[in-house]
């Protein structure tokens, strides 16, 4: 480790984490509003790359003795056409590359420099992909299936109901990732990360359901548990799983559409599984 003040490095990495977080949500919003198609899938894959970056950066912050930030940077969401959205994504990648390059110069630790260079190589590929998407969406005059910011096309109750789930899923993704970064227990950390990935699927399914009929997903958290003790984390995670299981069970009874019923039931059954996994882990760590 070099003589550089670790607080200084943590501050830079925190800015990088915020940028990755904003990119993930911006790209997901674009992908969901584009509907099912090759380009949307590729954008979701880019969002998953950004999640990996966030993961590596947060781990590095923990290694330096810091607390990984859950704040999200500025998104540049806007525009009426897919080409405009893709242009904004090019811009976001461009800004990220600029910031990483500054940080690579400023940071002395060779391991962290190497990690940031590794991330930049992905961002360069993403920038290239988004540039290609600008051209392609112009050439094919691609139209979004849903607006990015507009009143939902579904009946308001249904749109509210789906957005309740979307907010919940986004909240637990962040909460489980945060807990997985901070717990020293490797098994707990691995399980939390696995379940966070499953919650990302839930977020995607609900958002697709909503945007299919012109609704707009609201990807905002509802309050994240920041416990630092492993047993406390698991208790909070179990509590949120039980709360959401109850709510999804209520929603299943409330909706008429059989496909939507089946979708929410599938998610609800995953939540029951999460509760059981976390409960077993809590038993183990409490022994
Ligand atoms: Fe990234
Ligand atoms: Fe979920
Ligand atoms: Fe869950």
Domain extent, residue 32, equals 1-149
165 and 114 in a common domain: no
Q: What is the 20 CA–ligand 1 centroid distance (Å)?
A: 5
- pLDDT of 77: 85
| Span 126-138, pLDDT tens digits | 999 999 999 999 9
174 and 142 in a common domain: no
Ligand (nearest to CA of 202): 2
140 and 192 in a common domain: no
| Domain CATH for 202 | 1.20.1260.10
Q: What is the 241 CA–ligand 3 centroid distance (Å)?
A: 5
- pLDDT of 149: 67
Q: What is the 81 CA–ligand 2 centroid distance (Å)?
A: 31
163 and 142 in a common domain: no
182 and 58 in a common domain: no
- pLDDT of 1: 47
Total count of domains within the chain: 2
pTM of the model: 0.87
Separation of alpha carbons 173 and 164, rounded Å: 14
Separation of alpha carbons 217 and 177, rounded Å: 21
**Looking at residues 256-272, what average pLDDT do you find?**
96
Residue 182 reports pLDDT greater than 70: yes
145 and 162 in a common domain: no
162 and 143 in a common domain: no
Nearest to 147 by CA among 210, 62, 237, 240: 210
Ligand (nearest to CA of 274): 3
165 and 77 in a common domain: no
Nearest to 168 by CA among 246, 108, 230: 246
Domain stop point among 124, 149, 174:
149
Side-chain-side CA neighbours of residue 278 (13 Å): 27
164 and 144 in a common domain: no
Ligand (nearest to CA of 273): 3
Q: What is the 205 CA–ligand 3 centroid distance (Å)?
A: 14
183 and 255 in a common domain: yes
């Amino acid at each position: 480790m070099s003589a550089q003040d670790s607080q200084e490095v943590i501050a830079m990495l925190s800015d990088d984490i915020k940028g990755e977080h904003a990119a993930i949500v911006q790209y997901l919003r674009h992908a969901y509003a584009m509907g099912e198609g090759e380009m949307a899938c590729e954008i979701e894959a880019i969002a998953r790359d950004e999640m990996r970056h966030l993961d590596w950066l947060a781990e590095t912050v923990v290694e330096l003795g810091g607390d990984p930030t859950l704040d999200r940077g500025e998104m540049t969401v806007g525009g009426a056409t897919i080409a405009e959205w893709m242009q904004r994504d090019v811009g976001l990648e461009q800004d990220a590359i600029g910031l990483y390059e500054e940080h690579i110069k400023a940071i002395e630790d060779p391991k962290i420099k190497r990690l940031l260079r590794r991330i930049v190589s992905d961002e360069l590929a993403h920038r290239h992909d988004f540039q290609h998407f600008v051209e392609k969406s112009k050439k094919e005059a691609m139209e979004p299936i849903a607006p990015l910011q507009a009143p939902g096309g579904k009946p308001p109750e249904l749109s509210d109901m789906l957005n309740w789930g979307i907010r919940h899923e986004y909240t637990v993704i962040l909460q489980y990732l945060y807990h997985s970064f901070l717990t020293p227990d490797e098994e707990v950390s691995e399980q939390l990360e696995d379940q966070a990935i499953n919650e990302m699927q839930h977020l995607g399914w609900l958002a697709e359901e909503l945007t299919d009929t012109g609704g707009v997903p609201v990807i905002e958290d509802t309050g994240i548990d920041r416990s630092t003790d492993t047993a406390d984390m698991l208790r909070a995670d179990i509590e949120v799983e039980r709360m959401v299981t109850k709510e999804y069970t209520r929603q299943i009874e409330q909706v008429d559409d059989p496909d939507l019923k089946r979708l929410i039931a599938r998610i609800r059954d995953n939540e029951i599984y999460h509760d059981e996994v976390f409960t077993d882990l809590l038993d183990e760590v409490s022994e």
